[in-house]
Amino acid sequence: MKVPWSKSKDAQNSTTSSDSGNHEDSATTRTEVTTSTDIVNHDERPGNSDAIISTPQGQPESVTAPADPKNLVEAEKHEELTRTATTSTDPGQASEGDESKYATGLPLHLLTVGLVLSTFVVALDNTIIATAIPKITTVFNSLDDVGWYGSSYLLTTTSLQPSFGKIYTYFNVKWTYMLALIIFEFGSVLCGAAVNSTMLIVGRAIAGCGAAALFSGGMTIIGYTVPLRKRPLYIGLLSSMFGIASVVGPLLGGAFTDRITWRWCFYINLPIGAIAITAVFFFFTNPERRHSSLTFKEKIAQIDLLGAFFLICAIVCLLLALQWGGTTYPWSNSKVWGCLLGFGLLIGVFTGIQIWKGDLATLPPRVMLRQRTVFTCAFFSAFLAMGLYTHIYYLPFYFQAVKGTSAEGSGIRTIPYLVSITLSSIVVGGSITVLGPYVPFTWFGSAVFAVGSGLLHTLKVDSSTGTWIGYQILTGVGAGACVQIPFIAVQVVLTKKDMPVGNAVAIFFNSLGGAISISIAQNIFSNGLVKEIPKYSEGVDPYTIINAGATHIREVTPPSQLAGVLKAYNIAVTNSYILAIACACIAFLLSFGFEWKSVKGRKLELGGGA
């Protein structure tokens, strides 16, 4: 077989197995093209491009890693190309022996529990603080800092996602994950022990630094411990934690604040995190890595620290503009425009750095732009998250303000959304495991999510219980059916070397979409109140209603004007769902960009090791 990218004529007449010293592959997964007892490989180290080295068949080849990071990348490319060219792609070639390297039984179940719990606390920190903020602002007299209590966590979580994808590629997966959990726990301790608003914000930012590595790390660990055909079920379990936390968070936050102390919104992370650390420590075996021989300095050189810095600065500017625009300052204000301009310039610099760094970039163009499914996954995940987060944050406003329930009561009334997302995610994950193709579920889920979002937009002040329950179930089924698809798809289409980066890309865009949507929906909601209240309740100051909060509007509104205020509030809340409708429709269109792939009939080591 002639390999077109080989530089030596001798090399064109020989091939390697999928990995000479890798016991992960059985004989049935190879295409044998030579009867020689030796396997001949190219040595493409600098200064020796034409050298031929001979390795006895079945013995590991020892190659000294080049010190130059870019030479290392080139060597990896050649290795990946050679392995791809000589590996059978016959769907029927994968043998049961391929699965022997994966975890099974009780160790796998306990490890999964640990990963699920760590994902849960990461997701919980997004929502549990919502019902505690009024009490916190009273204690610290910090009403102006409310926005930063949420965005400081989202800022570091979102910005560091891609960098951790590279870190998982080059550093020990087990210890990286455990260190991230410890950082998350330390940030939670600072938040719980905060003596002022600044300490709380700093603690939230530190917790976000650790959280940035935990969901992508969980996906990476799943890739090393579960065969590809079984991963959709496990990925669905991890993804469903965000739906569960979105409803459980406000309930727990309200219960802790009312019955114990708001500080337990953060202290609860400590015992749960301890269980997760224990599970990973005892039940996850770190895989053998071909980067293990690199020095610490050489590994650091693979991480795009400069790109990560400009990305963080750009996201700060964007979040500030979205939080200030139309509320704190008019959109025409120089501060808002300055932040938007700064975002554009910084993203331009970041893009230039990514092109310059190539495979060493935070978002490698080869992975991000040249692989259609990865590009589609990134933006599909972002727009789906924008719609989902809009519902998660503003359905409670409908129940608390329009329907007059308490914070805990609004959480209970969003349980239909929680249950439908969770069950749909698990059922679809299991279905993909059995059937193989995942693209049809992407079409179905995004279409149903768009229809459900449109129905939620039609909610009225007097909508019946059956109406809002039914609309939530339909929307949740749609969201749950496709929320995990991007994380499945990147593991199917990418090689094992690129899998951690692909996971981080999908999660980064998911987190970015959520962060952006909250600010945009807040603008739509606040401006809607200012516009609609004078229409339906003459003489009522809209800013009095806004400052009163969702649960106290009946206390500050004259009884004769209450019906008009509730109607205006309902319009403002449901208008924010227009954002969810638009994002769901865009996600549906993007779903046609996925390549038709299956988790069955694929070589099981893909995404399973590095």
Which residues does 428 contact at the CB level (< 8 Å), separation at least 6? Answer: 232, 236, 441, 445, 480, 481, 482, 484
The closest alpha carbon to 179, from 213, 216, 203, belongs to 213
User: Cα(156)–Cα(274) distance, rounded to whole angstroms?
Assistant: 22
User: Cα(162)–Cα(167) distance, rounded to whole angstroms?
Assistant: 9
Residue type, 91: P
User: Cα(173)–Cα(441) distance, rounded to whole angstroms?
Assistant: 31
Tens of pLDDT, residue by residue over 507-528, are: 888 888 887 887 788 788 888 8
Query: Alpha-carbon torsion 193, 199, 204, 209, what sign?
Result: negative
User: Cα(98)–Cα(29) distance, rounded to whole angstroms?
Assistant: 9
Tens of pLDDT, residue by residue over 180-204, are: 999 999 999 999 999 998 999 999 9
User: Cα(539)–Cα(67) distance, rounded to whole angstroms?
Assistant: 73
Please provide the average confidence, as pLDDT, over all residues in the chain.
Answer: 77
Cβ-in-10-Å burial (0-12, 13-18, 19+) of 161 comes to buried
Which residues does 334 contact at the CB level (< 8 Å), separation at least 6? Answer: none
Residue type, 459: L
Grade residue 102 by pLDDT with cuts at 50, 70 and 90: low
Give percent helix, percent strand, percent coil of the chain, each to the nearest 5.
70, 5, 25
> How many Cα atoms occupy the beta-carbon half-sphere of 460 within 13 Å?
5
Judge whether residue 506 has pLDDT over 80: yes
DSSP string for residues in 546-568 = HHH-TTSHHHHS-GGGHHHHHHH
Is residue 408 a contact partner of residue 130, using CB atoms and an 8 Å limit? Answer: no
In the predicted model, what is the mean pLDDT of residues 286-302? 72
Query: Is 102-304+362-527+577-593 a CATH 3.30.1330.60 domain?
Result: no
In the predicted model, what is the mean pLDDT of residues 234-239? 80
pTM: 0.69
The closest alpha carbon to 314, from 361, 359, 352, 349, belongs to 349
Grade residue 365 by pLDDT with cuts at 50, 70 and 90: confident
In three-state secondary structure terms, 174 is helix
Tens of pLDDT, residue by residue over 129-166, are: 877 877 787 788 765 676 678 778 887 888 887 788 77
List the structure tokens of 371.
């692989």
